[in-house]
A and B are shown apart, each in its own frame.
Chain A
Amino acid sequence: MAKVAIANVKTGMKLLKPVINDSGMVMLGEGTILTDQMINKLNNMNISFVYVEGSQAKTKSKEALINEINERFQKSGTNEQMVLLHKLMIEHIEETYK
């Protein structure tokens, strides 16, 4: 799931969460594939973000993320749980970028 600003929404993106207006009414349901017309309508509403299918906005490279994780874990020692957590965090990044 990715959170995308209305300005960056493109035709064909699939909504993972419904779009709800200020009075709580569902304007577009979950699973809707966005069309140009719908995007125009969203632009006219007081809505800043939508949630669409796809992985996280990949603002950083996989290597950069893994380096950051390794750095944070550098002093966490050989405690069994920390070793497991470190491993799973790296696995998670690997899978996200598959």
Chain B
Amino acid sequence: MIDTKNLRSQIEKIDTLPTIPSTLRKLLSVIEDPKVSLSDIGSFISNDPVLTSRVIKVVNSPIYGFPGRISSVNQALILLGLNVVKGMLLGVSVFEAMKKTMEGLWEHSIGCAVTSKIIGTKKGLADIEELSVAGILHDIGKVAMGLKFLDEYKGLIKKAIDKNVLLIDLEKELFFVTHSETGAWIGQRWNFPKSLIEIIEYHHKPQLSKNYAIQTAVVHLADILVRAKGFGFAGDYLIPTINPIAWQRVGLSKDELKEVIAEMEDSLAESGEFNLEDD
């Protein structure tokens, strides 16, 4: 058994693990600074050709879906704004770690980003791009646990598949916390925006979200829809149950839900091919 306090300090230190990609470590040193400006971030990206190419790929992907092609980093930064850019950079930098932790988690995460965007657009919510970022990063706690406790976590995933149970229930058994909490710890440690931390922390208990209740409910629902579609892999082959309070908060009618499912079909087909592998 691992006690929670000790676990938290280990999880918070994952940026010092040798398996952390160097881009992510460098990026963290930039975005952890609360006074960082868009132009600081712009020059950080432009100095790194790999990061530059990934940023261009991501902003032209269905995750953001801007009309026309965006060809420069500066143009992307202006369109997206500081908070979204920070989240997007984290997303592209945890890409390798996601692949390493769980085959299919990246697809699950972009699926969730795309679906959050579809639902957010349908409900006329503001800050849709922030919802997309939350979709990409909602399971970052799984990455943290997988990086720190690779063998134990792989064992949990195997058990979840063999016994056909939800991974989150097995996390609770072994660690006494779930990827929602570990994700929120990481978010606090890495200075994520408050909305993002709250969505990560409550995406499985959306009824507890106070300040970003609708956004949390949207990501909760998107997570479930992507699993229902069987797109990507989030650690088990089951679908968690929709929380009735979250369902009410999003307020999709039956017809709207049907439209969301149809729109997901096209967007997921496009993002299925979307990969950050450097070519």
Contact surface of A with B, Cβ cutoff 8 Å? 1-3, 20, 24, 49, 51, 56, 68-69, 71-77, 79-82, 84-86, 88-89, 91-92, 96
Residue of A nearest to B266 (CB): A1
Residue of B nearest to A78 (CB): B241
Binds A, one of B13-21, B105-113, B179-187, B254-262: B254-262
B257 touches A72 (CB 8 A): no
- Distance of A82 Cα from B238 Cα, bound (Å): 12
9 contacts between A and B (CB under 8 A): A3-B270, A68-B230, A72-B230, A72-B237, A73-B239, A76-B241, A81-B241, A88-B258, A88-B261
Residue numbers in B under 8 Å from A85 (CB-CB) = 224-225, 228, 242, 257
In the complex, chain A residues whose CB is within 8 Å of the CB of B230: 68-69, 72
Is B71 engaged at the interface, CB distance under 8 Å to the other chain?
Answer: yes
CA distance A43 to B71 in the complex (A): 24
Q: How many A-B residue pairs have CB under 8 A?
A: 66
Size of the chain B interface, CB-CB below 8 angstroms:
28
B164 at the interface (CB under 8 A from A): yes
Closest to A95 in B: B262
Tell me which residues across on chain B come within 8 A of A74, comparing CB atoms. 238
Query: What residues of chain A lie closer than 8 Å to B244, measured between beta carbons?
Result: 79-81
Whole-angstrom CA separation of A77 from B257 in the bound complex: 19
A91 to B261 alpha-carbon distance, docked (Å): 10
Q: Enumerate chain B residues within 8 angstroms of A51, measured Cβ to Cβ.
A: 270
Question: Would you call B26 an interface residue if the criterion is a C-beta within 8 Å of the partner chain's C-beta atoms?
Answer: no
Among B239, B247, B273, point to the contact of A72 (Cβ < 8 A). B239
Central interface residue in A20, A71, A75, A77, by most chain B CB within 10 Å: A75
Beyond A49-B273, A92-B258, A92-B261, 17 extra complex contacts between A and B, CB < 8 Å: A1-B266, A3-B269, A3-B273, A69-B228, A69-B230, A75-B164, A76-B238, A79-B242, A81-B242, A82-B239, A82-B242, A84-B254, A84-B257, A88-B254, A88-B257, A88-B258, A91-B258
Measured in the bound complex, the distance between the Cα atoms of B224 and A75 in whole Å is 13
Q: Which 8 A-B pairs have the closest CB atoms?
A: A81-B242, A24-B69, A81-B247, A92-B261, A79-B241, A1-B266, A76-B239, A88-B258
Pair A89/B69 contact, Cβ less than 8 Å: no
Distance, CA A66 to CA B192, complexed state (A):
40
Determine the chain B residues whose CB is within 8 A of the CB of A73 once the complex forms.
228, 239
Query: Is B204 an interface position by the 8 A CB rule?
Result: no
Contact partners of A1 in chain B: CB under 8 A: 266, 269
Which A residues are in CB contact (< 8 Å) with B127?
none
Tell me if B227 counts as interface (CB < 8 A to partner A).
yes
Check A82–B257 contact: CB distance below 8 A.
no
A82 and B254 contact, CB distance less than 8 A? no
State whether the Cβ of B40 lies closer than 8 Å to any Cβ in chain A. no
Contacts of A20 in B (CB 8 A): 69
Chain B residue at minimal CB-CB distance from A23: B71
A81 to B254, CA, bound (A): 10
